[in-house]
Structure 1
Amino acid sequence: MKKSTQILGQPIISISEGAEIGKVKSFVINPDKGSVDFLTIEHEDWQVSVKAIPFKKVVGIGEYAVTVESDRAVIDLNEIPIADQLVNKKIRIVGAKVMTRKGELVGEVKEFYADENTGKILGVVLQTGELETILSADFVMTYGRDIVVVKEEAPGHFLDDPEKLLTKEVEEELEQPGEEGMEALRAKQVELLKGKKAVKDIYAGNGEQVIAAGTVLSEEDIKRAQEAGPGVFVELSMHVDE
Protein backbone atom coordinates (compact mmCIF):
# COMPACT_ATOMS: atom_id res chain seq x y z
CA MET A 1 0.00 0.00 0.00
CA LYS A 2 1.34 3.42 -1.02
CA LYS A 3 0.24 7.01 -0.53
CA SER A 4 -0.31 8.96 -3.73
CA THR A 5 2.35 11.42 -2.52
CA GLN A 6 4.85 8.53 -2.31
CA ILE A 7 4.40 7.87 -6.04
CA LEU A 8 4.11 11.33 -7.63
CA GLY A 9 7.44 12.70 -8.78
CA GLN A 10 9.24 9.37 -8.46
CA PRO A 11 11.80 8.49 -11.15
CA ILE A 12 10.66 5.68 -13.46
CA ILE A 13 13.47 3.19 -14.01
CA SER A 14 13.70 0.68 -16.86
CA ILE A 15 15.20 -2.51 -15.42
CA SER A 16 16.51 -3.88 -18.74
CA GLU A 17 18.12 -0.60 -19.81
CA GLY A 18 19.20 0.43 -16.33
CA ALA A 19 18.09 3.98 -17.11
CA GLU A 20 15.58 6.56 -16.01
CA ILE A 21 12.82 7.04 -18.59
CA GLY A 22 11.01 9.91 -16.88
CA LYS A 23 9.18 10.82 -13.69
CA VAL A 24 5.64 10.14 -12.51
CA LYS A 25 3.66 13.26 -13.44
CA SER A 26 0.07 12.35 -12.58
CA PHE A 27 -2.49 9.58 -12.16
CA VAL A 28 -5.14 8.50 -14.65
CA ILE A 29 -8.06 7.37 -12.52
CA ASN A 30 -10.70 4.86 -13.60
CA PRO A 31 -13.76 6.04 -11.63
CA ASP A 32 -15.80 2.94 -12.40
CA LYS A 33 -13.17 0.55 -11.06
CA GLY A 34 -11.92 2.89 -8.33
CA SER A 35 -8.33 2.41 -9.42
CA VAL A 36 -5.23 4.06 -10.84
CA ASP A 37 -5.04 2.65 -14.37
CA PHE A 38 -2.08 4.65 -15.73
CA LEU A 39 0.83 6.75 -14.50
CA THR A 40 1.57 9.64 -16.84
CA ILE A 41 5.23 10.46 -17.45
CA GLU A 42 7.04 13.77 -17.31
CA HIS A 43 9.92 13.90 -19.78
CA GLU A 44 11.56 16.94 -21.41
CA ASP A 45 11.51 15.29 -24.86
CA TRP A 46 7.77 14.50 -24.78
CA GLN A 47 5.92 17.78 -25.02
CA VAL A 48 3.18 17.00 -27.55
CA SER A 49 1.64 13.64 -26.73
CA VAL A 50 0.77 12.21 -23.32
CA LYS A 51 3.00 9.29 -22.47
CA ALA A 52 2.07 6.87 -19.72
CA ILE A 53 2.64 3.47 -18.20
CA PRO A 54 -0.28 1.09 -17.55
CA PHE A 55 -0.28 0.36 -13.83
CA LYS A 56 -0.28 -3.37 -14.57
CA LYS A 57 3.15 -2.90 -16.21
CA VAL A 58 4.68 -1.53 -13.01
CA VAL A 59 7.11 -4.01 -11.47
CA GLY A 60 7.53 -2.22 -8.18
CA ILE A 61 7.11 1.05 -6.31
CA GLY A 62 10.01 1.58 -3.95
CA GLU A 63 11.15 4.35 -1.68
CA TYR A 64 13.19 6.01 -4.43
CA ALA A 65 11.76 4.85 -7.77
CA VAL A 66 9.03 3.15 -9.78
CA THR A 67 10.39 0.28 -11.86
CA VAL A 68 9.23 -1.29 -15.14
CA GLU A 69 10.77 -4.11 -17.17
CA SER A 70 11.70 -1.89 -20.14
CA ASP A 71 10.82 1.32 -21.92
CA ARG A 72 8.41 -0.73 -24.05
CA ALA A 73 5.97 -0.33 -21.14
CA VAL A 74 5.55 3.31 -22.19
CA ILE A 75 2.47 4.02 -24.34
CA ASP A 76 0.93 7.04 -26.03
CA LEU A 77 -2.43 7.60 -24.35
CA ASN A 78 -3.82 9.40 -27.39
CA GLU A 79 -3.53 6.17 -29.38
CA ILE A 80 -5.62 4.11 -26.94
CA PRO A 81 -9.30 5.15 -26.98
CA ILE A 82 -10.17 3.84 -23.51
CA ALA A 83 -7.14 5.50 -21.94
CA ASP A 84 -7.84 8.74 -23.77
CA GLN A 85 -11.43 8.69 -22.47
CA LEU A 86 -10.17 8.31 -18.90
CA VAL A 87 -7.77 11.23 -19.34
CA ASN A 88 -10.61 13.43 -20.63
CA LYS A 89 -12.74 12.65 -17.57
CA LYS A 90 -10.10 14.49 -15.51
CA ILE A 91 -10.80 12.62 -12.28
CA ARG A 92 -8.26 14.06 -9.83
CA ILE A 93 -9.41 12.84 -6.36
CA VAL A 94 -6.81 14.96 -4.51
CA GLY A 95 -8.41 18.34 -3.84
CA ALA A 96 -11.94 17.06 -4.44
CA LYS A 97 -14.69 17.87 -1.96
CA VAL A 98 -16.20 14.83 -0.22
CA MET A 99 -19.99 14.80 0.14
CA THR A 100 -22.48 12.23 1.36
CA ARG A 101 -25.17 11.18 -1.11
CA LYS A 102 -27.56 13.49 0.75
CA GLY A 103 -25.32 16.51 0.26
CA GLU A 104 -23.53 16.74 3.61
CA LEU A 105 -20.00 18.10 3.23
CA VAL A 106 -17.53 15.74 4.90
CA GLY A 107 -14.18 17.28 4.00
CA GLU A 108 -11.59 17.55 1.26
CA VAL A 109 -9.24 14.86 -0.08
CA LYS A 110 -5.58 15.58 0.66
CA GLU A 111 -4.17 12.31 -0.73
CA PHE A 112 -5.13 8.68 -1.19
CA TYR A 113 -3.82 5.17 -0.64
CA ALA A 114 -3.49 2.65 -3.48
CA ASP A 115 -2.57 -1.00 -3.68
CA GLU A 116 0.95 -0.95 -5.13
CA ASN A 117 0.33 -4.21 -7.01
CA THR A 118 -3.07 -3.55 -8.60
CA GLY A 119 -3.58 0.21 -8.46
CA LYS A 120 -6.87 -0.23 -6.58
CA ILE A 121 -7.70 2.79 -4.42
CA LEU A 122 -7.96 1.59 -0.82
CA GLY A 123 -8.86 4.81 0.96
CA VAL A 124 -8.59 8.58 1.04
CA VAL A 125 -7.05 11.00 3.53
CA LEU A 126 -9.54 13.75 4.38
CA GLN A 127 -9.09 17.21 5.81
CA THR A 128 -12.08 17.76 8.11
CA GLY A 129 -11.70 21.14 9.71
CA GLU A 130 -8.31 21.18 11.44
CA LEU A 131 -8.03 17.39 11.51
CA GLU A 132 -6.86 14.78 9.03
CA THR A 133 -8.60 11.43 9.02
CA ILE A 134 -8.81 8.36 6.79
CA LEU A 135 -11.85 6.87 5.04
CA SER A 136 -11.96 3.45 3.41
CA ALA A 137 -12.79 3.32 -0.31
CA ASP A 138 -15.55 0.85 0.65
CA PHE A 139 -17.64 3.92 1.52
CA VAL A 140 -17.06 5.71 -1.80
CA MET A 141 -19.97 5.68 -4.24
CA THR A 142 -18.64 8.01 -6.96
CA TYR A 143 -15.29 9.47 -7.94
CA GLY A 144 -16.14 12.68 -9.81
CA ARG A 145 -14.13 15.49 -11.34
CA ASP A 146 -14.73 17.84 -8.41
CA ILE A 147 -16.63 15.77 -5.85
CA VAL A 148 -16.23 12.35 -4.27
CA VAL A 149 -19.64 11.06 -3.16
CA VAL A 150 -19.69 8.73 -0.16
CA LYS A 151 -22.32 6.71 1.70
CA GLU A 152 -24.28 8.47 4.43
CA GLU A 153 -22.74 6.31 7.13
CA ALA A 154 -19.17 7.26 6.12
CA PRO A 155 -18.66 10.02 8.77
CA GLY A 156 -19.17 7.44 11.50
CA HIS A 157 -16.35 5.24 10.21
CA PHE A 158 -13.24 7.37 9.98
CA LEU A 159 -9.96 5.53 10.64
CA ASP A 160 -6.88 6.68 12.52
CA ASP A 161 -4.50 4.07 11.12
CA PRO A 162 -4.03 3.37 7.38
CA GLU A 163 -3.21 -0.26 8.13
CA LYS A 164 -6.90 -0.73 8.94
CA LEU A 165 -7.61 -0.19 5.24
CA LEU A 166 -6.16 -3.64 4.66
CA THR A 167 -8.76 -5.33 6.86
CA LYS A 168 -12.40 -6.10 6.18
CA GLU A 169 -13.54 -4.69 9.48
CA VAL A 170 -14.98 -1.54 7.93
CA GLU A 171 -17.19 -3.57 5.60
CA GLU A 172 -18.69 -5.49 8.49
CA GLU A 173 -19.55 -2.53 10.72
CA LEU A 174 -21.78 -0.32 8.58
CA GLU A 175 -24.20 1.62 10.74
CA GLN A 176 -26.30 4.69 10.16
CA PRO A 177 -24.88 7.69 12.06
CA GLY A 178 -27.05 8.88 14.92
CA GLU A 179 -28.02 12.48 15.62
CA GLU A 180 -24.81 12.91 17.61
CA GLY A 181 -22.79 11.85 14.57
CA MET A 182 -24.66 14.28 12.31
CA GLU A 183 -24.02 17.14 14.73
CA ALA A 184 -20.31 16.30 14.71
CA LEU A 185 -20.35 16.30 10.90
CA ARG A 186 -22.03 19.71 10.77
CA ALA A 187 -19.44 21.07 13.19
CA LYS A 188 -16.66 19.81 10.91
CA GLN A 189 -18.37 21.48 7.95
CA VAL A 190 -18.25 24.76 9.84
CA GLU A 191 -14.53 24.27 10.54
CA LEU A 192 -13.87 23.49 6.89
CA LEU A 193 -15.56 26.60 5.46
CA LYS A 194 -15.20 29.19 8.22
CA GLY A 195 -13.09 32.16 7.10
CA LYS A 196 -13.35 31.33 3.39
CA LYS A 197 -14.95 33.78 0.96
CA ALA A 198 -18.08 33.09 -1.08
CA VAL A 199 -17.33 33.86 -4.75
CA LYS A 200 -20.96 34.02 -5.93
CA ASP A 201 -24.41 34.77 -4.57
CA ILE A 202 -26.04 31.67 -3.05
CA TYR A 203 -29.82 31.37 -3.18
CA ALA A 204 -32.37 29.06 -1.55
CA GLY A 205 -34.95 27.19 -3.61
CA ASN A 206 -37.51 29.95 -3.04
CA GLY A 207 -35.17 32.54 -4.57
CA GLU A 208 -34.16 34.10 -1.27
CA GLN A 209 -30.49 35.07 -1.04
CA VAL A 210 -28.73 33.06 1.65
CA ILE A 211 -25.13 34.24 1.17
CA ALA A 212 -23.90 37.26 -0.80
CA ALA A 213 -20.85 37.07 -3.03
CA GLY A 214 -17.77 38.37 -1.21
CA THR A 215 -18.96 37.28 2.23
CA VAL A 216 -16.18 35.98 4.47
CA LEU A 217 -18.04 33.08 5.99
CA SER A 218 -18.77 33.11 9.70
CA GLU A 219 -20.15 30.21 11.71
CA GLU A 220 -23.61 31.81 11.49
CA ASP A 221 -23.39 32.09 7.68
CA ILE A 222 -22.47 28.42 7.33
CA LYS A 223 -25.22 27.27 9.68
CA ARG A 224 -27.72 29.35 7.71
CA ALA A 225 -26.67 27.55 4.53
CA GLN A 226 -26.91 24.17 6.28
CA GLU A 227 -30.43 24.96 7.42
CA ALA A 228 -31.41 26.07 3.91
CA GLY A 229 -30.94 22.49 2.71
CA PRO A 230 -28.32 20.12 1.27
CA GLY A 231 -28.52 21.62 -2.23
CA VAL A 232 -27.82 25.13 -0.95
CA PHE A 233 -24.93 23.97 1.20
CA VAL A 234 -23.37 22.01 -1.68
CA GLU A 235 -23.66 25.10 -3.89
CA LEU A 236 -21.89 27.20 -1.26
CA SER A 237 -19.10 24.67 -0.67
CA MET A 238 -18.38 24.55 -4.41
CA HIS A 239 -18.08 28.35 -4.69
CA VAL A 240 -15.65 29.47 -2.01
CA ASP A 241 -12.12 30.75 -2.12
CA GLU A 242 -9.37 30.92 0.50
Structure 2
Amino acid sequence: MRLRRVAAAIFSLALLCWYSVAQAQLTRLNVGYSAISADQLPAWVAKESGIFQKNGLDVDLIFFTGGSTAILALVSRDVPITQVSGPGLVNSAMAGSDAVFVAAGITSLNYVLMGGPNIKKPEQLKGGTVAISRFGSATDSIARFALKKIGLTPGKDVTIVQVGSGPDRLSAALTGKVSAAVLNPPSSFMAEKKGLTVIADVAQMGLVFQHTGAATTRRFLKEHPDVVRRYVKSHVEAVHRIWTDKEITVKTLGKYMGHGVERDILERSR
Protein backbone atom coordinates (compact mmCIF):
# COMPACT_ATOMS: atom_id res chain seq x y z
CA MET A 1 0.00 0.00 0.00
CA ARG A 2 2.88 2.28 0.93
CA LEU A 3 4.59 1.55 -2.37
CA ARG A 4 1.43 2.52 -4.24
CA ARG A 5 1.31 5.86 -2.43
CA VAL A 6 4.98 6.49 -3.21
CA ALA A 7 4.44 5.58 -6.87
CA ALA A 8 1.41 7.87 -7.07
CA ALA A 9 3.39 10.72 -5.51
CA ILE A 10 6.24 10.22 -7.98
CA PHE A 11 3.80 10.16 -10.90
CA SER A 12 2.10 13.35 -9.71
CA LEU A 13 5.45 15.09 -9.30
CA ALA A 14 6.56 14.00 -12.78
CA LEU A 15 3.29 15.23 -14.27
CA LEU A 16 3.68 18.58 -12.52
CA CYS A 17 7.25 18.92 -13.77
CA TRP A 18 6.17 18.07 -17.33
CA TYR A 19 3.38 20.65 -17.19
CA SER A 20 5.75 23.31 -15.84
CA VAL A 21 8.27 22.62 -18.60
CA ALA A 22 5.51 22.67 -21.23
CA GLN A 23 4.26 26.02 -19.92
CA ALA A 24 7.79 27.40 -19.88
CA GLN A 25 8.20 26.47 -23.54
CA LEU A 26 5.13 28.45 -24.60
CA THR A 27 5.76 31.84 -26.19
CA ARG A 28 3.92 34.61 -24.36
CA LEU A 29 2.01 36.84 -26.77
CA ASN A 30 -0.34 39.78 -26.27
CA VAL A 31 -2.90 39.96 -29.07
CA GLY A 32 -5.37 42.78 -29.59
CA TYR A 33 -8.91 42.61 -30.93
CA SER A 34 -11.00 45.58 -31.96
CA ALA A 35 -14.68 44.68 -31.67
CA ILE A 36 -17.21 42.73 -29.63
CA SER A 37 -18.73 40.82 -32.52
CA ALA A 38 -18.66 37.48 -34.29
CA ASP A 39 -15.93 38.80 -36.59
CA GLN A 40 -13.44 38.25 -33.77
CA LEU A 41 -14.25 34.53 -33.41
CA PRO A 42 -10.97 33.23 -34.92
CA ALA A 43 -8.93 34.71 -32.06
CA TRP A 44 -11.52 33.90 -29.41
CA VAL A 45 -11.96 30.26 -30.49
CA ALA A 46 -8.20 29.75 -30.81
CA LYS A 47 -7.88 30.93 -27.22
CA GLU A 48 -10.82 29.07 -25.69
CA SER A 49 -10.33 25.74 -27.49
CA GLY A 50 -6.61 25.47 -26.74
CA ILE A 51 -5.44 25.93 -30.34
CA PHE A 52 -2.97 28.67 -29.43
CA GLN A 53 -1.49 26.52 -26.68
CA LYS A 54 -1.26 23.51 -29.00
CA ASN A 55 0.84 25.65 -31.33
CA GLY A 56 3.15 26.80 -28.56
CA LEU A 57 1.56 30.18 -27.83
CA ASP A 58 0.42 31.53 -24.47
CA VAL A 59 -1.91 34.27 -25.70
CA ASP A 60 -3.50 37.08 -23.71
CA LEU A 61 -6.31 38.78 -25.64
CA ILE A 62 -6.64 42.53 -25.09
CA PHE A 63 -9.68 44.53 -26.19
CA PHE A 64 -9.30 47.89 -27.95
CA THR A 65 -12.38 49.91 -28.87
CA GLY A 66 -12.28 50.28 -32.65
CA GLY A 67 -9.75 49.46 -35.33
CA SER A 68 -7.99 52.83 -35.19
CA THR A 69 -7.22 52.28 -31.49
CA ALA A 70 -6.03 48.72 -32.11
CA ILE A 71 -3.73 49.85 -34.92
CA LEU A 72 -2.27 52.56 -32.71
CA ALA A 73 -1.47 49.91 -30.10
CA LEU A 74 0.12 47.76 -32.80
CA VAL A 75 2.43 50.37 -34.29
CA SER A 76 3.41 51.65 -30.83
CA ARG A 77 4.38 48.03 -29.96
CA ASP A 78 1.89 47.64 -27.13
CA VAL A 79 0.80 44.45 -28.92
CA PRO A 80 2.74 42.62 -31.67
CA ILE A 81 -0.38 41.18 -33.34
CA THR A 82 -3.96 42.42 -33.49
CA GLN A 83 -7.29 41.52 -35.04
CA VAL A 84 -8.33 44.54 -37.09
CA SER A 85 -10.24 45.57 -40.20
CA GLY A 86 -8.94 46.98 -43.47
CA PRO A 87 -9.55 50.74 -43.10
CA GLY A 88 -7.55 51.15 -39.91
CA LEU A 89 -4.58 49.22 -41.26
CA VAL A 90 -4.61 50.86 -44.69
CA ASN A 91 -4.85 54.36 -43.20
CA SER A 92 -1.95 53.58 -40.89
CA ALA A 93 0.20 52.14 -43.70
CA MET A 94 -0.52 55.14 -45.92
CA ALA A 95 0.62 57.37 -43.06
CA GLY A 96 3.97 55.55 -43.02
CA SER A 97 3.62 52.67 -40.56
CA ASP A 98 4.81 49.14 -41.32
CA ALA A 99 1.49 47.47 -40.36
CA VAL A 100 0.59 44.52 -42.56
CA PHE A 101 -2.05 41.78 -42.73
CA VAL A 102 -0.82 38.20 -42.33
CA ALA A 103 -4.22 36.43 -42.36
CA ALA A 104 -7.74 37.31 -43.39
CA GLY A 105 -10.73 36.27 -41.33
CA ILE A 106 -13.76 38.09 -42.71
CA THR A 107 -13.52 39.20 -46.33
CA SER A 108 -17.09 40.32 -46.89
CA LEU A 109 -19.33 42.79 -45.12
CA ASN A 110 -22.12 41.80 -42.76
CA TYR A 111 -22.95 45.30 -41.48
CA VAL A 112 -26.25 47.14 -41.51
CA LEU A 113 -27.23 50.69 -40.72
CA MET A 114 -30.00 50.17 -38.18
CA GLY A 115 -32.45 52.92 -37.29
CA GLY A 116 -33.53 53.77 -33.74
CA PRO A 117 -37.10 53.10 -32.50
CA ASN A 118 -38.64 55.98 -34.48
CA ILE A 119 -36.49 55.77 -37.61
CA LYS A 120 -38.01 53.69 -40.40
CA LYS A 121 -36.84 55.45 -43.60
CA PRO A 122 -33.53 56.98 -44.76
CA GLU A 123 -34.96 60.50 -44.99
CA GLN A 124 -35.79 60.40 -41.28
CA LEU A 125 -32.07 60.36 -40.50
CA LYS A 126 -31.61 63.92 -41.75
CA GLY A 127 -30.48 66.10 -38.86
CA GLY A 128 -29.79 63.03 -36.72
CA THR A 129 -26.80 61.08 -35.46
CA VAL A 130 -25.22 57.76 -36.43
CA ALA A 131 -23.20 55.71 -33.93
CA ILE A 132 -19.83 54.19 -34.87
CA SER A 133 -17.05 52.76 -32.74
CA ARG A 134 -14.18 55.20 -33.41
CA PHE A 135 -13.24 57.63 -36.17
CA GLY A 136 -10.96 55.91 -38.69
CA SER A 137 -12.42 52.48 -37.91
CA ALA A 138 -14.34 50.12 -40.20
CA THR A 139 -17.64 51.33 -38.75
CA ASP A 140 -16.67 54.90 -39.65
CA SER A 141 -15.91 53.98 -43.27
CA ILE A 142 -19.07 51.89 -43.52
CA ALA A 143 -21.28 54.63 -42.05
CA ARG A 144 -20.01 57.22 -44.54
CA PHE A 145 -20.37 54.83 -47.47
CA ALA A 146 -23.91 53.80 -46.48
CA LEU A 147 -25.09 57.36 -45.86
CA LYS A 148 -23.89 58.49 -49.28
CA LYS A 149 -25.58 55.50 -50.89
CA ILE A 150 -28.95 56.50 -49.40
CA GLY A 151 -28.54 60.14 -50.45
CA LEU A 152 -27.25 61.74 -47.23
CA THR A 153 -24.05 63.70 -46.70
CA PRO A 154 -22.03 62.78 -43.58
CA GLY A 155 -21.19 65.84 -41.52
CA LYS A 156 -23.90 67.90 -43.22
CA ASP A 157 -27.14 65.94 -43.19
CA VAL A 158 -26.09 63.49 -40.47
CA THR A 159 -23.59 63.72 -37.59
CA ILE A 160 -21.38 60.68 -36.99
CA VAL A 161 -20.61 60.09 -33.32
CA GLN A 162 -18.16 57.79 -31.53
CA VAL A 163 -20.00 55.45 -29.16
CA GLY A 164 -17.87 52.34 -28.73
CA SER A 165 -18.38 48.59 -29.14
CA GLY A 166 -21.25 46.83 -30.91
CA PRO A 167 -23.22 46.29 -27.67
CA ASP A 168 -22.71 49.97 -26.79
CA ARG A 169 -23.95 51.10 -30.20
CA LEU A 170 -26.92 48.74 -29.96
CA SER A 171 -27.85 50.18 -26.56
CA ALA A 172 -27.57 53.74 -27.91
CA ALA A 173 -29.90 52.90 -30.82
CA LEU A 174 -32.44 51.07 -28.68
CA THR A 175 -32.68 53.93 -26.16
CA GLY A 176 -32.88 56.64 -28.82
CA LYS A 177 -29.60 58.27 -27.82
CA VAL A 178 -28.65 58.12 -31.50
CA SER A 179 -30.82 58.07 -34.62
CA ALA A 180 -29.10 55.01 -36.04
CA ALA A 181 -26.11 52.74 -35.52
CA VAL A 182 -23.73 50.70 -37.64
CA LEU A 183 -24.13 47.12 -36.40
CA ASN A 184 -23.09 43.60 -37.30
CA PRO A 185 -23.86 40.16 -35.78
CA PRO A 186 -24.81 39.37 -33.10
CA SER A 187 -25.77 42.99 -32.29
CA SER A 188 -27.60 43.48 -35.60
CA PHE A 189 -29.65 40.31 -35.04
CA MET A 190 -30.49 41.45 -31.51
CA ALA A 191 -31.62 44.83 -32.85
CA GLU A 192 -33.78 43.15 -35.49
CA LYS A 193 -35.39 40.94 -32.84
CA LYS A 194 -36.20 44.02 -30.75
CA GLY A 195 -38.01 45.61 -33.68
CA LEU A 196 -35.45 48.05 -35.09
CA THR A 197 -35.46 48.69 -38.84
CA VAL A 198 -32.62 48.13 -41.31
CA ILE A 199 -32.13 51.45 -43.09
CA ALA A 200 -29.28 50.23 -45.27
CA ASP A 201 -27.92 46.72 -45.79
CA VAL A 202 -24.29 47.44 -46.61
CA ALA A 203 -23.64 43.87 -47.74
CA GLN A 204 -25.99 44.51 -50.67
CA MET A 205 -24.35 47.78 -51.73
CA GLY A 206 -21.38 46.39 -53.65
CA LEU A 207 -18.57 47.61 -51.40
CA VAL A 208 -15.40 45.52 -51.89
CA PHE A 209 -13.98 45.33 -48.40
CA GLN A 210 -11.29 43.54 -46.41
CA HIS A 211 -12.82 43.22 -42.99
CA THR A 212 -11.35 41.57 -39.91
CA GLY A 213 -7.98 39.86 -40.20
CA ALA A 214 -4.78 39.32 -38.24
CA ALA A 215 -2.21 42.11 -38.54
CA THR A 216 1.32 42.63 -37.35
CA THR A 217 4.23 44.90 -38.26
CA ARG A 218 6.87 44.12 -40.87
CA ARG A 219 9.48 44.55 -38.17
CA PHE A 220 7.91 41.93 -35.89
CA LEU A 221 7.42 39.61 -38.86
CA LYS A 222 11.11 39.89 -39.71
CA GLU A 223 12.32 39.47 -36.12
CA HIS A 224 9.87 36.73 -35.08
CA PRO A 225 8.81 34.80 -38.20
CA ASP A 226 8.17 31.56 -36.30
CA VAL A 227 5.82 33.27 -33.83
CA VAL A 228 3.84 34.81 -36.69
CA ARG A 229 3.77 31.49 -38.51
CA ARG A 230 2.37 29.74 -35.42
CA TYR A 231 -0.21 32.48 -34.98
CA VAL A 232 -1.38 32.19 -38.59
CA LYS A 233 -1.53 28.40 -38.23
CA SER A 234 -3.69 28.86 -35.13
CA HIS A 235 -5.90 31.34 -36.98
CA VAL A 236 -6.52 28.89 -39.84
CA GLU A 237 -7.23 26.03 -37.45
CA ALA A 238 -9.67 28.23 -35.52
CA VAL A 239 -11.58 29.14 -38.69
CA HIS A 240 -11.96 25.42 -39.44
CA ARG A 241 -13.10 24.81 -35.85
CA ILE A 242 -15.72 27.56 -36.15
CA TRP A 243 -17.27 25.83 -39.16
CA THR A 244 -17.06 22.30 -37.76
CA ASP A 245 -17.76 22.68 -34.04
CA LYS A 246 -20.98 24.56 -33.40
CA GLU A 247 -20.98 24.06 -29.63
CA ILE A 248 -17.53 25.50 -28.90
CA THR A 249 -18.26 28.39 -31.28
CA VAL A 250 -21.61 29.25 -29.70
CA LYS A 251 -20.17 28.89 -26.19
CA THR A 252 -17.19 31.11 -27.01
CA LEU A 253 -19.29 33.79 -28.68
CA GLY A 254 -21.65 33.84 -25.72
CA LYS A 255 -18.73 34.26 -23.31
CA TYR A 256 -17.24 37.27 -25.09
CA MET A 257 -20.57 38.91 -25.89
CA GLY A 258 -21.59 38.74 -22.23
CA HIS A 259 -24.82 37.64 -20.61
CA GLY A 260 -28.25 38.02 -22.16
CA VAL A 261 -27.61 36.96 -25.76
CA GLU A 262 -30.10 34.24 -26.71
CA ARG A 263 -28.81 31.01 -28.20
CA ASP A 264 -30.66 31.41 -31.50
CA ILE A 265 -28.90 34.75 -32.00
CA LEU A 266 -25.52 33.18 -31.24
CA GLU A 267 -26.18 30.36 -33.70
CA ARG A 268 -27.19 32.78 -36.46
CA SER A 269 -24.01 34.79 -35.87
CA ARG A 270 -21.70 31.80 -36.23
TM-score, normalised relative to structure 2: 0.23
TM-score, normalised relative to structure 1: 0.25
Give 1 or 2 for the bigger CA radius of gyration: 2
Q: Which has the higher contact order (CA 8 A, sep 6+)?
A: 2
Higher helix content, 1 or 2? 2
